[in-house]
Amino acid sequence: MTSNGGNGVPNISKPSTSASCTPIEVDDDDDVEESPNVNPSSDPSVLPLTSRHTSSVWSNFKRKRVGDAIKAECNYCLKLLAGGAKSDTSHLKDHTKICPKRKCVDIRQTKLFGSKANPNDKEDTMTLTPYEFRKEDGRRDLAEMIILHEYPLSMVEHFGFRKYSSTLQPGFKAPSRNTTKDILKRYEIEKENVIVMVRKAKSRIALTTDMWTSSNQKKGYMAVTAHFIDNFWKLQSRIIRFCHVPAPHTAEVLADALKECIHSWNLDLKLSAITVDNCTTNDAMMDILLGDFPYGSLILHGHFFHMRCCAHILNLIVQEGLSVVVSDGILRIRDSVSFWTASPKRVQKFEQVARQLVPDCKRKLVLDCKTRWNSTYEMLIIAIKYREVFVVLGARDHLYKNPPLSEDWIKVEKICEKLEVFSNLTHDFSASKYPTANIYFPKVCALKLALSSWLSSPYDYVRVMAQVMLEKYDKYWIGVNALMGVATILDSRYKMALIRFYFGKIYDALNVDKEVEKISNLLNKLVVEYWSKNGRTQASSSHPKSSGHMSGKVQGDAYMQEFAEFMQQDKSKSNEKSELEKYLSDENVPLDDDFDILNWWKTNGSTYPILQQIAKDIMSIPVSTAPSESAFSTSGRVLDPYRSRLLPETVEALMCTQNWIWSNYKGELKEVQHQWLEEIEDGSDTEVTGVID
């Protein structure tokens, strides 16, 4: 039976248990820690138990004569309690529960659960495992469940949830709205762990930032994610802030919010770059931020500080290209898809014909969203497979007017061939695992070559689209190419060879060497800067006697002291040059798609210590802020309705802690579960439009 409490939530009565149910209750007499009781004959003061001492509690005590009184002595802490004939055993049971020396837990809370090493093996033996239920563990895991899967906080008050949890564990009482306290507590614990991780990282930190809005469009949030390579040479990504930003979202307001985040996490002297979306507000914000950093605190005085999101650059390129080729043909296909998906009856009719003409195709027609170019691409790709179906239905159904023409299909096929390049590249840029920066240079160069080749297409609409796309490409990708070029040289499979190979195809003979030299000079500048900041410390610690001897000779002579510094600088330049030259002259690592560049630098750092530090800082800079789902869209990311109604502090705790917990579980999940985890992260398994990594 259930009855309603004062809050209107039914009280669930605890179900009774039977002997056949699991878990198995452990009887007090069967699972008591072995008593260290001595042999009574060895101690004349110890009295034997009589037939009156039948309680199991006496297994933890000895009857002992102390003077004229009979006492019960605890076998663990040796405390003496009343043990005479007139004394009951309740005080002995109470002491057993709180005895500081007794190692076992309260036996009434212990249960045995049966489990198999291999659940699929019917012949595998069952193993009984002791289990103790702790209410605090239940509350902790309940809060974690709400955080991970974005459940509404009110679910703890739902009748069904309370009934279900009571069935699983009658001793667990769901904590109503106080779940928020548990969530905030978990947030503080996980935050401290991330702070320690970031502080211990011996590398620079790269940031990505983008804006979210609540579902009612009344609140704006800034998500700030830190990317770095930890001391075990693993690429890490953690959200460090998800803060409410009051309107209006001007460059000054956004800069203040991001500045506060950087200061609160003590990243002023550790930043490598900030990757942001492409818009004029972000450009102005980055200019404001750049002026606030101490001189010399950024790499090459901020050369890599402002990175533009490559996924959004691709989106701009495609949108620009599609705007000049959208024709009556694409509109006719869109109208046809709209017509045949307008009602269940039409869908059924279309599928009947499709099963006869295209039996191998199982995909359903989908109508595109005009602001998402990839949805237009998907709509066209599926429609092309059913082109014969549209032709047949055009002849059969008098209501279906203006079907696509044969030349429409030819044009759409050619356009889709080109868009496939962008679709694949966008997925690469927006991978939820944020690959290292070295993998992108050949992909971006291949895109440039593809666009250039389209200028020779026999189809005028392809040539026009290619020309518009190339103009956008050249406008945005000059700065990004520099980072990707340096990262490519630091890939021991490629070094300078891949740069020369692609630049030889992209540029004319007169400009190839000049463009290669730009990337080479940039790496040289990095080596000089890193040596001046890190190399001298290493050199002085490696040769302390030599350094001390020189300073002693020139003591008191200002010019000779200056000369000594000049000699040290000259030596530094020689060392830095020899390290880079040695790296470039050493044999390249064989080409291998499974090559682990971070592990290579971890292993070879003693040979190239300065280049190792550069690689550690450069490889972690992400080229995209956008996860795969939102990379194709011109709209922002949106919080689900449940979280949109919460206080900003609670929203930040939920979003950050979700990212931190999933990141912790990544190393523990089996390989077969990784795909499921990534689907949750990139939003395909949740209501939140966007990924947190």
**453 lies in a domain?**
no
**Distance separating alpha carbons of residues 370 and 326, to the nearest angstrom:** 11
Higher pLDDT pick, 338 / 543: 338
Mean pLDDT within 622-631: 62
Higher pLDDT pick, 49 / 283: 283
Question: Residues 635, 246, 206, 300: is their CA dihedral positive or negative?
Answer: positive
**415 lies in a domain?**
yes
Same domain, 613 and 651: no
**Distance separating alpha carbons of residues 503 and 609, to the nearest angstrom:** 29
pLDDT digits over 153-192, tens only? Answer: 888 888 898 888 888 888 788 777 677 889 999 999 999 9
- Residue 493 confidence (pLDDT): 95
**Distance separating alpha carbons of residues 131 and 138, to the nearest angstrom:** 13
- Residue 20 confidence (pLDDT): 38
**CA torsion, ordered 325, 480, 520, 586, to nearest 10 deg:** -90
pLDDT digits over 226-237, tens only? Answer: 999 999 999 999
- Residue 15 confidence (pLDDT): 41
**Distance separating alpha carbons of residues 433 and 662, to the nearest angstrom:** 12
Q: Is the pLDDT of residue 14 over 90?
A: no
Same domain, 558 and 629: no
Q: Assess contact for 242 and 213: CB atoms under 8 A.
A: no
Same domain, 223 and 321: no
**169 lies in a domain?**
no
Q: Which residues pair with 227 in a beta bridge?
A: 206, 237
**Distance separating alpha carbons of residues 454 and 458, to the nearest angstrom:** 9
Same domain, 229 and 279: yes
**564 lies in a domain?**
yes
Q: Assess contact for 436 and 598: CB atoms under 8 A.
A: yes
Instruction: Give residues with Cβ within 8 angstroms of 165, minimum separation 6.
Output: 172, 174
Which residue intervals of 224-358 are DSSP H helices? Answer: 251-264, 280-290, 310-323, 328-340, 344-357
**Distance separating alpha carbons of residues 316 and 468, to the nearest angstrom:** 11
pLDDT, averaged across the chain:
80
- Residue 542 confidence (pLDDT): 41
* 651: nearest Cα among 161, 187, 154, 177: 187
**CA torsion, ordered 504, 507, 512, 516, to nearest 10 deg:** -90
**Distance separating alpha carbons of residues 513 and 518, to the nearest angstrom:** 9
**Distance separating alpha carbons of residues 73 and 75, to the nearest angstrom:** 6
Mean pLDDT within 396-407: 91
Same domain, 530 and 653: no
pLDDT band at 517 (very low <50, low <70, confident <90, very high): very high
Using DSSP's 3-state secondary structure scheme, residue 644 falls into helix
Using DSSP's 3-state secondary structure scheme, residue 77 falls into coil
Question: Of the segments 32-46, 94-108, 162-176, 662-676, which one has the largest average pLDDT value?
Answer: 162-176
Residue 565: enclosing H or E segment and its boundaries? helix 558-585
Same domain, 328 and 211: no
Q: Is the pLDDT of residue 23 over 60?
A: no
Q: Assess contact for 565 and 636: CB atoms under 8 A.
A: no
**288 lies in a domain?**
yes
Percent of the chain with pLDDT over 90: 43
Q: Which residues pair with 81 in a beta bridge?
A: 72
**Distance separating alpha carbons of residues 423 and 443, to the nearest angstrom:** 12
Q: Which residues pair with 224 in a beta bridge?
A: 209, 241
**677 lies in a domain?**
yes
Q: What is the pTM of this model?
A: 0.72
Instruction: Give residues with Cβ within 8 angstroms of 279, minimum separation 6.
Output: none
Q: Is the pLDDT of residue 332 over 90?
A: yes
* Separation in Å, CA 631 to CA 87, 263, 317, 500, 516: 77, 29, 13, 31, 31
Using DSSP's 3-state secondary structure scheme, residue 398 falls into coil
Task: Tell me the pairing of strands 205-213 and 271-276.
Answer: parallel
Indicate the residue among 109, 133, 162 that finishes a domain. 109
- Residue 684 confidence (pLDDT): 44
**Distance separating alpha carbons of residues 493 and 487, to the nearest angstrom:** 11
What the block records as the tokens of 390 is: 């549209």
**Distance separating alpha carbons of residues 333 and 351, to the nearest angstrom:** 17
Percent of the chain with pLDDT over 70: 75
Q: In which domain, by residue range, is 34 found?
A: 24-109
- Residue 112 confidence (pLDDT): 59
**Distance separating alpha carbons of residues 226 and 240, to the nearest angstrom:** 7
The count of structural domains within the chain is 4
Q: Which residues pair with 72 in a beta bridge?
A: 63, 81
- Residue 403 confidence (pLDDT): 92
Same domain, 332 and 417: yes
Same domain, 502 and 416: no
CB contact burial 84-113 (16+ within 10 A = b; e otherwise): eeeeebeebeebbeebeebeeeebeebbee
pLDDT digits over 255-288, tens only? Answer: 999 999 999 999 999 999 999 988 899 999 999 9
**386 lies in a domain?**
yes
How many C-beta atoms surround the C-beta of residue 683 within 10 A?
19
**Distance separating alpha carbons of residues 572 and 324, to the nearest angstrom:** 55
- Residue 576 confidence (pLDDT): 55
- Residue 119 confidence (pLDDT): 58
What the block records as the tokens of 22 is: 């699991």
Terminal Cα distance for the chain, rounded: 46
CA 538 to chain centre: 35
Query: What is the residue whose two structure tokens read 């927006």?
Result: 430
**Distance separating alpha carbons of residues 452 and 469, to the nearest angstrom:** 10
Residue 240: enclosing H or E segment and its boundaries? strand 235-245
Same domain, 361 and 261: no
How many C-beta atoms surround the C-beta of residue 133 within 10 A?
14
Burial zone of 422 (CB within 10 Å; 0-12 exposed, 13-18 middle, 19+ buried): buried
CB contact burial 535-552 (16+ within 10 A = b; e otherwise): bbeebeeeeeeebeebee
pLDDT digits over 28-41, tens only? Answer: 433 334 444 444 44
- Residue 185 confidence (pLDDT): 93
**Distance separating alpha carbons of residues 650 and 153, to the nearest angstrom:** 11
Q: Is the pLDDT of residue 490 over 90?
A: yes
Using DSSP's 3-state secondary structure scheme, residue 610 falls into helix
**437 lies in a domain?**
yes
pLDDT digits over 410-468, tens only? Answer: 999 999 999 999 988 888 877 655 568 888 899 999 999 999 999 999 999 999 999 99
Q: Can you give the C-alpha Rg of the chain in angstroms? A: 35
Same domain, 206 and 261: yes
- Residue 593 confidence (pLDDT): 86
Same domain, 437 and 364: yes
- Residue 30 confidence (pLDDT): 37
**Distance separating alpha carbons of residues 362 and 351, to the nearest angstrom:** 10
Query: What is the residue whose two structure tokens read 């469940």?
Result: 145
- Residue 212 confidence (pLDDT): 87
Same domain, 274 and 305: yes
Instruction: Give residues with Cβ within 8 angstroms of 450, minimum separation 6.
Output: 418, 421
Indicate the residue among 618, 638, 666 that finishes a domain. 618
pLDDT digits over 586-619, tens only? Answer: 999 999 988 999 999 999 999 999 999 999 999 9
- Residue 571 confidence (pLDDT): 59
